[in-house]
Amino acid sequence: MAALISSQPYAAEIRRLCADAVPNGVAVAPEPGTAVEQDLLLLRPRTSPDLSPQVRRVGEHDLLVQFRNRDEQLVYEFWTNSFTGTVTAEDRSVDLLERHGAEHFPGILRRFRTRIRRSVPSGADLSSALQQTYIQDGVRMADVTITCTLDGAVLAQAWATYELLD
Q: What CA–CA distance (Å, rounded) separates 65 from 54?
A: 6
36-42 and 108-116 as β-strands: parallel, antiparallel, unpaired? Answer: antiparallel
Please count the structural domains in the chain: 1
CB neighbourhood size of 39 (10 A): 16
Give the residue numbers spanning the domain of 16: 2-163
Alpha carbon 130 to chain centroid, angstroms:
17
**N- to C-terminal Cα separation, the chain:** 15
Provide CB contacts within 8 A for 33, sequence distance 6+.
none
Exposure string over 51-82, b if 16+ CB within 10 A, otherwise e: beeeeeeeeebbbebbbbbeeeeebbbbbbbb
pTM of the model: 0.89
Q: What CA–CA distance (Å, rounded) separates 103 from 74?
A: 27
Strand partners of residue 156:
116, 148
Render each residue's pLDDT in the chain as its tens digit; 166 residues: 333 334 546 788 888 888 889 998 888 999 998 999 999 999 876 666 688 999 999 888 999 999 999 889 999 999 999 998 888 899 999 999 999 998 898 888 999 999 999 989 888 999 999 999 999 999 999 999 999 999 999 999 999 999 998 7
